[in-house]
Amino acid sequence: MTVLALETSCDETAVAILRGRDRHSGSELLASEVASQITEHEKYGGIVPEIASRNHLVHAPRLLERVTRDAKIDMSHVDAFAATSGPGLASSLMIGASIAKGLAIGFGKPYLAINHLEGHLLSPFFGGADCDGQIRRNVSLIVSGGHTISIRVHGLGNYHLIGCTVDDAAGEAFDKVAKMLGFGYPGGPEIENHARAGDPDRFDLPRSMLDSENFSFSGLKTAVRYSLPKLKGDFLADLCASFQQAVVDALVTKTIAAAQKYDVDLVTMSGGVSCNHELRRQLGDACAREGFEFKSAEPWLCTDNAAMIAFAALLRLQAGFESRLTEEIDPNFALA
């Protein structure tokens, strides 16, 4: 089976073609392309939906031509077409979903509407032989610019929400603190770079709601804001390190607690913020100490991409699922 998928949930246009060998021998990524819009949105300090959707219309046709050429495949030989159906920006989601539906109609093939968060959720298994029944029970942490959630995974499509953010997601907190410090957008990599030379214990910043399964980073962001006018001298690296450590502590503490409570032996992590080296290292170390296997998506799969959408679509197609062509996008598409 060969799946072509589009990802246009926010500000990055992505197209990928994935071939499944069979249900037990994994998959082969034939081509994957991503067109970033960071430079277009950086001047505004965040995503402008109108600019994002217009750029998807520009990039998508070029990427479709490129991936089919690189994959050496004719569109008529694709077995199914998929697109991110939500959550995301409505004006962006419509672009990818409309293209995938049009291709499905034109070539008489199935269409699959994929949840963006399911793409992240399954991405730690990408490249292996993990299929529907072989995706082990795990506690999954999805941590990105717009989402911070923990999920109990029992198998493909069988997900139960453990906790989510009640205010800012971790990635939002990184971006907002970065803006306070005069950094560019996105802010996570900037803070991480400065934090490498800093002392994470210099500033005592809050770790909110540690006794809850939910997450909260708004108070941490506010604490940084109120601290800034009082700081003098060379504090930037230490403040970045202290802020980053406060985020990591909350994520690691809650994820380990959830794994213990729900009696799993595997912890997975995905999403853009999971590219943070300290988060990866400290969650991996904590899992090793507590006896959990730790599996994280490869960094190139953590940011928005169509390969993870194609992978989720392939697993669903192999399990006998497909979507109606009348299915609408859902900017608030719930995963669990």
Per residue in 91-112, pLDDT (tens digit) is 999 999 999 999 999 999 999 9
Residue 83 lies in a domain: yes
237 and 95 both lie in a single domain: no
Instruction: Enter the tokens of residue 137.
Output: 């029970």
207 and 62 both lie in a single domain: no
Q: Quote the number of domains for the chain.
A: 2
Task: Please state, as a whole number, how many other Cβ atoms lie within 10 Å of the Cβ of residue 108.
Answer: 7
Whole domain around residue 161: which residue ranges? 136-296
Q: Return the CATH number at 198.
A: 3.30.420.40
**pLDDT exceeds 90 at position 16:** yes
What confidence tens digit (pLDDT) does each residue in 31-69 have? 999 998 877 877 777 788 898 899 999 999 999 999 999
What confidence tens digit (pLDDT) does each residue in 289-332 have? 999 999 999 999 999 999 999 999 999 999 999 999 999 999 99
| Least confident piece of the model among 29-43, 160-174, 194-208, 230-244 | 29-43
Give the residue among 19, 11, 196 at the shortest CA–CA distance from 116: 11
Distance of CA 215 to the CA centre of its chain: 17
The pLDDT confidence band at residue 26, using thresholds 50, 70 and 90, is confident
Q: What number is the average pLDDT over the span 186-207? A: 96
260 and 140 both lie in a single domain: yes
- HEC secondary structure over the chain: CEEEEEECCCCCEEEEEEEECCCCCCEEEEEEEEECCHHHHHCCCCCCHHHHHHHHHHHHHHHHHHHHHHHCCCHHHCCEEEEEEECCCHHHHHHHHHHHHHHHHHHCCCEEEEEHHHHHHHHHHCCCCCCHHHCCCEEEEEECCCCEEEEEEEECCEEEEEEEECCCCHHHHHHHHHHHCCCCCCCHHHHHHHHCCCCCCCCCCCCCCCCCCCECCHHHHHHHHHHHHHCCCCCHHHHHHHHHHHHHHHHHHHHHHHHHHCCCCEEEEECHHHHCHHHHHHHHHHHHHHCCEEEECCHHHHCCCHHHHHHHHHHHHHCCCCECCCCCCCCCCCCC
**pLDDT exceeds 60 at position 132:** no
**pLDDT exceeds 50 at position 273:** yes
Q: What is the pLDDT of residue 49?
A: 85
40 and 164 both lie in a single domain: no
255 and 195 both lie in a single domain: yes
Residue 102 lies in a domain: yes
259 vs 255: CA distance, rounded Å: 6
The pLDDT confidence band at residue 131, using thresholds 50, 70 and 90, is very low
118 and 258 both lie in a single domain: no
**pLDDT exceeds 80 at position 263:** yes
167 and 311 both lie in a single domain: no
Q: What is the pLDDT of residue 133?
A: 41
Residue 24 lies in a domain: yes
Residue 196 lies in a domain: yes
244 and 305 both lie in a single domain: no
Residue 328 lies in a domain: no
pTM: 0.94
116 and 237 both lie in a single domain: no
Apex CA 218: angle with CA 225 and CA 195, to 5°?
A: 60
Better pLDDT: 26 or 164: 164
- How much is the mean pLDDT over the chain? 94
290 and 311 both lie in a single domain: no
pLDDT > 90: what percent of the chain?
Answer: 87
Residue 324 lies in a domain: no
151 and 284 both lie in a single domain: yes
The pLDDT confidence band at residue 202, using thresholds 50, 70 and 90, is very high
Q: What is the pLDDT of residue 288?
A: 98
202 and 91 both lie in a single domain: no
Residue 43 lies in a domain: yes
Q: What is the pLDDT of residue 82?
A: 98
What confidence tens digit (pLDDT) does each residue in 172-191 have? 999 999 999 999 888 999 99
